[in-house]
Amino acid sequence: MPVDFSGTWNLISNDNFEGYMVALGIDFATRKIAKMLKPQKVIKQDGDSFYIHTTSTFRDYLLQFKIGEEFEEDNKGLDNRKCKSLVTWENDKLVCVQTGEKKNRGWTHWLEGDDLHLVFTSDFY
Ligand code: VL7
């Protein structure tokens, strides 16, 4: 059985989200608001097609992609830097590489028990 990320997910913790936002150069005021948020994610997985809608009281972000197909991402309302993104499977993990100004930028999603995990990476410089 392949992994299925479909569902509605609510944030329960955001360890060092602050550090990631600092690495992206998000200003102090925005960081203070952003780290208090409890965003909700609605994920729809249909074969290799994904729809990931993250909503919060402050900002929303919609991501749609197909596994193995590179796409332009604008990160609108986040750090607003454009990048080229590619999502692939690494075993049961969903791994995104975001090529652009920030080196080693990307994220990984995986399931563990009843929880959805998400780790972001980015170099500071
Ligand atoms: C959220 C990281 C932080 C600026 C606002 C925060 C608004 C609610 O998790 C996300 O999607 C994953 C896929 O699940 C990767 O695309 C979207 C990323 C927030 C950047 C920058 C803080 C301002 C949070 C949208």
CA-nearest residue, atom 19 of ligand 1: 78
Measured in whole angstroms, the distance separating CA 84 from the mean position of its chain's CA atoms is 14
Q: What is the mean pLDDT of each run of 10 residues along the chain (125 residues)?
A: 92 97 98 98 97 98 98 98 98 98 98 97 92
Is residue 18 lining ligand 1, measured as CB closer than 6 Å?
Answer: no
Whether the Cβ atoms of residue 82 and residue 72 lie closer than 8 Å to each other: yes
Token pair in block for residue 72: 């332009």
How many of the other CB atoms lie within 10 Å of CB of 63? 18
Say what the ipTM of the complex is.
0.95
Between CA 38 and CA 71 the distance in angstroms is: 28
Q: Which pLDDT score, from 0 to 100, does residue 1 have?
A: 58
Q: Is 106 in the pocket of ligand 1 (CB under 6 A)?
A: no
34 within ligand 1 shell (Cβ under 6 A): yes
Task: Give me the pLDDT at residue 38, please.
Answer: 98
Q: Which of 11, 13, 28, 54 has the most ligand 1 atoms within 8 A of CB, as the residue to mutate?
A: 54
CA distances from 29 to 33, 40, 78, 81 (A): 7, 22, 13, 19
